[in-house]
Amino acid sequence: MHRQIQRTVLERFPAGGPRGSWPAEEYAAVQRTQGTPDAQVVMDLRTDQFLVVTHTEPE
């Protein structure tokens, strides 16, 4: 049976941030140090936002 991994969005950041600023990456790094080891940044092209997400497998 195929298991689909679900994403949980922790935070959203606009793609047009100031040059040299990486707020989504910084937020994900903080989440990883605070106990969410799989926090990562993905781009949502539809909304032009960076999303910090975690992955969860349905039970």
Model confidence pLDDT, tens digit, residues 23-50: 999 999 999 999 999 999 999 999 999 9
pLDDT at residue 58 above 60?
no
Give residue-wise pLDDT tens across range 7-27.
Answer: 899 999 998 877 778 999 999
Q: What is the total residue count of the chain?
A: 59
- Torsion (CA) 47, 55, 28, 36 in degrees, nearest 10: 150
Give the per-residue pLDDT at 19. Answer: 77
Give the per-residue pLDDT at 16. Answer: 82
User: What is the pTM assigned to this prediction?
Assistant: 0.81
d(CA 6, CA 11): 16
